[in-house]
Amino acid sequence: MPRVNESQTWPPSEGDTIDTMKAAVLRAPYELRIEDVPRPLVPRGHALVRVRATAVCGTDVGVYKGKVAARLPVIQGHESTGVVAEVGEGTVGLEVGDRVVLNSVIFCRHCAFCYSGKVNLCPNGGLMGREVDGTFAEYVCVPDFNAIPIPDSISHEDGTSLIALATVFQAHEKLSITPGQSVAVIGQGAAGLLQTRLSVVSGAEPVFAITRSQWKLDIAESFGATPIVAGKVDPVAAVVAATGGVGADIVIESVGSGSTLRQAMQMVRPGGTVLCFGIMPANVDAFDGYAMYFKELTLLGSRGMAPNNFSSAIAIVESGRLDLGPFVTHRFGLGQTKEALDLVDREPGRTLRVVVTVGD
* Contact between residue 183 and residue 177 where contact means Cβ atoms under 8 Å apart: yes
- Count up the domains in the chain and report the number: 2
Which residues, including other chains, have CB under 8 Å from residue 67's CB and lie 6 or more apart? none
11 domain residue, yes or no: no
Mean pLDDT of the chain: 92
- Give 117 or 282, the one with higher predicted confidence: 117
On whether both 190 and 217 belong to a single domain, the answer is yes
211 and 119 housed in the same domain: no
| 174 in the same domain as 132 | no
| Domain-located, residue 318 | no
| DSSP class of 155 | -
Residue 360 has a pLDDT of 62
Cite the DSSP H helix spans in the chain. 58-65, 112-115, 156-159, 161-175, 190-201, 214-222, 235-242, 258-267, 289-294, 307-318, 337-346
> For residue range 52-106, what is the model confidence (pLDDT) as tens digits?
999 999 899 999 999 999 999 999 999 999 999 999 999 999 999 999 999 999 9
In this prediction, residue 129 has a pLDDT band, given cuts at 50, 70 and 90, of very high
Q: Do both 32 and 147 map to the same domain?
A: yes
Residue 315 in domain:
no
- Specify whether 337 is located in the same domain as 288: no
Flag whether 41 is in a domain.
yes
Spatial separation of the C-alpha atoms in residues 3 and 313, rounded to whole Å:
30
185-221 residue pLDDT tens: 999 999 999 999 999 999 999 999 999 999 999 999 9
Assess whether 37 and 125 both reside in one domain: yes
CATH number of the domain residue 187 falls in: 3.40.50.720
pLDDT over 80 (residue 2)? no
Query: Are 283 and 341 found together in one domain?
Result: no
Closest listed residue to residue 186, CA positions, set 153, 212, 223 = 212
Domain of residue 31, CATH code: 3.90.180.10
88 in a structural domain = yes
Q: Is residue 45 part of a domain?
A: yes
Quote the pTM value: 0.89
Share of the chain above pLDDT 90, in %: 84
Shared-domain flag, residues 209 and 295 = yes
* pLDDT at residue 6 in the model: 46
CA atoms lying within 13 Å on the CB side of residue 92: 2
Whether 224 has a pLDDT exceeding 70, the answer reads yes
d(CA 72, CA 224): 43
| Cβ–Cβ < 8 Å for 276, 261 | yes
The domain in which residue 218 lies consists of 165-301
Do 124 and 191 share a domain, yes or no? no
- Model confidence at 8: pLDDT above 70: no
Please state the rounded mean pLDDT for residues 18-41.
Answer: 95
State mean pLDDT over 276-282: 83
| Total residue length of the chain | 360
Q: In terms of pLDDT, which residue wins out, 28 or 176?
A: 28
Q: What is the pLDDT, as a whole number, of residue 176?
A: 85
Place 335 in a pLDDT band, splitting at 50, 70 and 90: very high
Check residue 18 and give its pLDDT. 66
Residues 6+ apart with CB under 8 A from 228: 208, 209, 210, 217, 235, 238, 239
Residue 217 domain flag: yes
173 and 281 fall within a common domain? yes
Say if 282 falls within a structural domain. yes
Residue-level pLDDT at 1? 45
For residues 243 and 269, membership in a common domain is answered with yes
Residue 334: burial class (beta carbons within 10 Å; 0-12, 13-18, 19+): buried
Q: Are residues 263 and 353 in the same domain?
A: no
Domain termination site, one of 269, 301, 333: 301
What mean pLDDT is predicted for residues 281-289?
78
Sheet holding 20-28, edge to edge: 31-38, 20-28, 74-75
As a whole number of angstroms, the distance between CA 251 and CA 271 comes to 12
Given this model, what pLDDT does residue 12 score? Answer: 45
Task: Region of 45 please: left (phi>0), alpha (psi -120 to 50) or beta.
Answer: left
